[in-house]
Structure formats: structure tokens, C-alpha cells
Amino acid sequence: MSRLRITVAALSLALSAMAHQAYAGVEDKDVPRMISLGGTCVNCELSGRKLTGARFTGANYAKANLIGADLRGASFFGSNFVAADLSRADLRGAEMRGANFVGAHFADARLSGIESSGANFQGADMPRVDLSSSELHGAIMIGANLERANLSSSELMGANLQGVNAKGANFSSAELNASNLIGGNFERASFRDAEFTGSMLRGAIFNGADFAGADLSNANLSGADLSNARGLDQDQLDEACGDGGTRLPRGLSIRNCSGGNVRVRVSSSFERAQAEAARAQVEANRSRIEAAAHARAAAALRAAPAPPRPPKAPKPPRELDN
């Protein structure tokens, strides 16, 4: 989106704010500057707004109302959207590196193809969200609600999904290498052809989950409940490990992770997963540093006094009629 289009969109938001009085503590004249550089807009009323390609850098939009907003291709570098409501919003192709969406609401939102390495979705409410074909390297999704979400073909290397509710979610063909799924609820979820190389699945619930074609190399299934899982075979489990608390379908077995005879095989995909997870954290830290710099620049710009207006040119003397 060009700078002119962003400015026009921002001015439109400012006019709307005058009518709704939604910009708490933010003057209308600051809105264009805020959209392009950052700033604070807590409790903003932006539902249904067209903000395609907008750039939020180091911005604070905590508790903002963005229900049904069009944010396709938008950038959220290091920005704060804690407890914001993005239900039914369209964020396809957005960049969210290092952004903070803790406790945000994404019910029925479209986020396919997003890039959100290192983003924080802890405790976010994301039922039925579409996250297919997205990059979520190192993303934090602890305790998030992902019930019936679509994460098919997504890259979640090094992601933290500890304690999530992902009942009925679709992880088919997803890359979950070196990820943390400890204590999550994945009842009836689909993991067909998914990759779990080096992942931690301890204590997770997989009742009725589909593991057909999944790669469980070096995965830790200690205490996990797979008693009613579908598509599991002995060859898959031979590449993983568990313990006495691991519950498996009848006729299948698994080696003990703490046993002395466990074969350790470090595959190239596991090494790649570790590298991707480390790279995601570097990207997230870089985004936060850049966001902080932009926020300081924006604050300095707002605090700077306006330049004096040049004096008006004197009017030419009127000629007298003869």
C-alpha cells in the first residue's frame, strides 16, 4: 500500500473516531502518524475497517475492536494487541513477527499464509481460525483455544503449544518439529502426514486423533494418551519413546525414554527444526528492537513543537480609479 493510501485510510479512521469517541487519549491529528509509525490507540473502534497493507510498528492497540476488519497483507512488527478482538477479521498474508496477541480473540478469523515467527498468542481465543500454510516458527501459543482450527500445511517448528485446547483441529501435513505440545488436548485432531521430529508430547491427550503417515522420530510420548488414536502403527512408535504412563492402542508398544537401550538418532530434519526455532527467536528479538526504536522516534515526533508558520505576504496596494 502506498503512503498516500495509508494516509487516506488513517484520515478516514480519524473521522470515524470523532463520531464514536473511541480513541482514548489520542488526538485525531495523531492518527495518520500512528498508523505509519506506531503509537497508542487503546480501545480503538476499528471494526469492519479496510486496513489492507497497513503497517503497525511498535504500536499499542490493546483491547482494540477489529471485528471483521480487512487487514490482508498488514504488518504487526513488535506491536501490542493484547486482548484485542479480531474475530472474523481477514489477516491473510499478514506479517506478525514478534507481535503480542496475548488473550486476543480470533474466532473465525482468516490468517492463512501469515508469517508470525516469534509472535505471542498465549491464551488467545482462536476457535475455527484458518492458519493453514502459515509460518509460525517459534510462536508462543501456550493455553490458546484452537478448537477446530485449521493449521494444515503450516510450519510450527519450535512452537510452544503447551496446554492448548485443539480439539478437532486440523494439523495435517504440518511441520511440528522440535515443538512443545505438553499437556495439550488434541482429541479428534488430524495429524495425517504431520512431522513431529524431536517434539515433546508428554501428557497430551490424543483421543480419536488421526496419525496416519505422521513422522514421530525422536518424539517424546511419555504420559500421553493415544489409547484411541487412529492410523498409528508399530513402525511409527519404534522411532519414538514413552514411559509407563503412555497409553497406546491395543497391540502396540513403545520404548522407554529413560531406558538404556533407546537408540538415539539425530536426523537432518531434527537439526533443521532446531535451527529454525533458534532463527525464529532471533527474528522475534530483532523485531522487538526495531519496534522499540520506531516507538521512540514516533514519541519524539509527537513531542516536537510544530514549526512556525511563515508570515503572510503583504497584499499589494489597490490602484485608485481615475
The DSSP letter of residue 241 is: B
**pLDDT for 166-225, tens place per residue?**
999 999 999 999 999 999 999 999 999 999 999 999 999 999 999 999 999 999 999 999
**pLDDT for 282-302, tens place per residue?**
766 666 676 667 667 766 766
Report yes or no on whether pTM surpasses 0.95: no
91 domain residue, yes or no:
no
DSSP 145-189: B-TT-B-TT-B-TT-B-TT-B-TT-B-TT-B-TT-B-TT-B-TT-
pLDDT band at 9, cuts 50/70/90?
A: very low
Residue 302, pLDDT score? 63
pLDDT of 86 over the 90 cut = yes
**pLDDT for 110-140, tens place per residue?**
999 999 888 899 999 999 999 999 999 989 9
317 domain residue, yes or no:
no
Domain CATH for 254 = 2.160.20
229 domain residue, yes or no:
yes
How deeply is 260 buried, as exposed, middle or buried, from its count of CB atoms within 10 A (0-12, 13-18, 19+)?
Answer: exposed
143 domain residue, yes or no:
yes
Residues 6+ apart with CB under 8 A from 170: 132, 149, 150, 151, 152, 189, 190
Q: Do 28 and 14 form a contact (C-beta atoms < 8 A)?
A: yes
Domain range for 261: 96-298
Residues 6+ apart with CB under 8 A from 318: none
**pLDDT for 139-150, tens place per residue?**
999 999 999 999
**Alpha-carbon gap, residue 53 to 60, rounded angstroms:** 18
Cell of 128: 475455527
The number of domains in the chain is 1
Residue 281, pLDDT score? 64
225 domain residue, yes or no:
yes
Rounded percentage of the chain residues whose pLDDT exceeds 70: 74
pLDDT band at 103, cuts 50/70/90?
A: very high
**pLDDT for 18-72, tens place per residue?**
333 333 333 333 333 344 536 788 999 999 999 999 998 888 999 999 999 999 9
114 domain residue, yes or no:
yes
The one-letter code for the residue type at 22 is A
Q: How far is CA 37 from the centre of its chain?
A: 21
Residue 246, pLDDT score? 97
Helices marked H in the chain — which ranges?
3-20, 31-37, 234-238, 268-303
Neighbouring CB atoms inside 10 A of 94's CB total 26
pLDDT of 76 over the 50 cut = yes
pLDDT band at 249, cuts 50/70/90?
A: very high
18 domain residue, yes or no:
no
**pLDDT for 143-181, tens place per residue?**
999 999 999 999 999 999 999 999 999 999 999 999 999
32 domain residue, yes or no:
no
